[in-house]
Chains A and B, each alone.
Chain A
Amino acid sequence: MSLPGAPCAGSSILGEGGGVRPPSLVERLDSRTRVILALLFAVALVTGSDVTLLTVGLGLALILALLARLPVVRTLRRMLVLEGFMLVVLALLPFSIPGRVVAEVLGFAASAEGLTRAAQITLKANAITVAVFALLGTLEVVALGRALARLGAPERLVHLFLFTVRYLDVLDREYRRLRLAMRARAFRPATGPHCWCSIGYLFGMLMVRSLERAERIDAAMRCRGFTGRFPCLHEEAESGPGALDWGVGAASTAAVTLLLVMG
Chain B
Amino acid sequence: MAHIPDGVLSNPVLMVGAAVAAAGVALGLKGLDPVRVPRVAMLSSVLFVASLVHLPAGPASVHLLLNGLAGIVLGWAAFPALLVALLLQAVLFGFGGLVVLGVNTVDMALPALAAGALFRLLWRGGGPRRAAVAGAVAGGGAVLLTALMVAGVLALSGREFETAARLVILTHLPLMVVEAAFTAAALSLLARVKPEMLRGRG
Contact = CB atoms under 8 A, between A and B. Distances in A.
Contacts of A193: 181
A194 to B, nearest CB: 9
A62 to B, nearest CB: 14
Given A42-B97, A207-B197, A211-B43, A160 B84 contact: yes
Contacts of B181: 193, 196-197, 200
Specify the main secondary structure of chain B where it touches its partner: helix
Contacts of B94: 78-79, 81, 129, 132-133
B189 interface: yes
B55 A86 contact: no
B29 A125 contact: no
Contacts of A42: 6, 97-99
A243 to B, nearest CB: 27
Interface string B157-183: 001111110011001000000100111
B55 A189 contact: yes
B194 A46 contact: no
B160 A93 contact: yes
Contacts of A160: 32, 37, 40-41, 44, 80-81, 84
A5 B116 CA distance: 29
A200 B186 contact: yes
Contacts of A211: 39, 42-43, 194, 197
B121 interface: no
Interface in A161-206: 161-168, 170-172, 175, 189-191, 193, 195-201, 203-206
Interface residues of A, number: 84
B46 A199 contact: no
Contacts of B57: 191
Interface of B: 1, 3-8, 11, 14, 25-26, 29, 32, 34-35, 37-46, 48-50, 52-53, 55-58, 73, 80-81, 83-85, 87-88, 90-95, 97-99, 154, 159-164, 167-168, 171, 178, 181-190, 193-194, 197
Interface of A: 1, 3-5, 38-39, 42-43, 45-47, 78-79, 81-86, 88-89, 92-93, 96-97, 114, 117, 120-125, 128-129, 132-133, 136-137, 141, 144, 154, 156-157, 159-168, 170-172, 175, 189-191, 193, 195-201, 203-208, 210-211, 213-215, 217-218, 221, 228
